[in-house]
């Protein structure tokens, strides 16, 4: 296997993140009368991933996404998670998905395609496991009380 230069090893990943760890913040729309239903907002480094990925989409119900052991909780086996669907009375089959996996003490979201703050497409983000689980737990407790 040919050796790679240190510069190549430090080359930025998509979105210019250079392997940096992101910060997750979870919010929820309260439902009627503000919106037609309660839905989740997923902010990565201050950017709404769902809206930036497809503005026609709305996040799925927080009770579904954030529940203890739910789809956004990382596992050793990678999984594809539906996080949003088109708004409206008949949401249809289209879904916005994120691939979630655990790599050591890092949670990795991949298969993303949204413009970052610098306009460069973000395809993958990484989170510290403790920050990620803490935020999911905080958001769930804010909506449903402690588990």
Report the share of the chain in percent with pLDDT over 70: 76
Quote the mean pLDDT of the chain: 81
**Span 24-55, pLDDT tens digits:** 999 877 666 666 667 888 999 999 999 999 98
Domain residue spans of the chain: 6-142
**Structure tokens that stand for 79 in this block:** 């999984």
The pLDDT of residue 92 is 58
Please tell me the predicted confidence (pLDDT) of residue 86. Answer: 87
pLDDT tens, 3-14?
Answer: 433 333 333 333
Distance, CA of 93 to CA of 90 (rounded, Å): 9
Give CA–CA dist 70/81, Å, rounded: 10
């Amino acid at each position: 296997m040919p050796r790679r230069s240190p510069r190549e090893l430090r080359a930025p990943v998509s979105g210019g993140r250079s392997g940096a760890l992101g910060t997750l913040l979870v919010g929820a729309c309260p439902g009627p009368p503000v919106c037609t239903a309660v839905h989740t907002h997923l902010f990565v480094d201050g950017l709404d991933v769902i809206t930036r990925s497809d503005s026609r989409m709305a996040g799925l119900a927080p009770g579904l996404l954030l529940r203890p052991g739910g789809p956004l909780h990382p596992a050793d086996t990678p999984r594809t998670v539906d996080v949003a669907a088109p708004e409206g009375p008949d949401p249809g089959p289209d879904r916005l998905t994120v691939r979630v996996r655990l790599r050591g003490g890092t949670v990795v979201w991949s298969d993303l395609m949204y413009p970052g703050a610098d306009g460069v497409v973000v395809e993958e983000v990484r989170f510290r496991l403790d920050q990620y689980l803490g935020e999911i737990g905080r958001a769930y407790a804010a909506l449903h009380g402690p588990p």
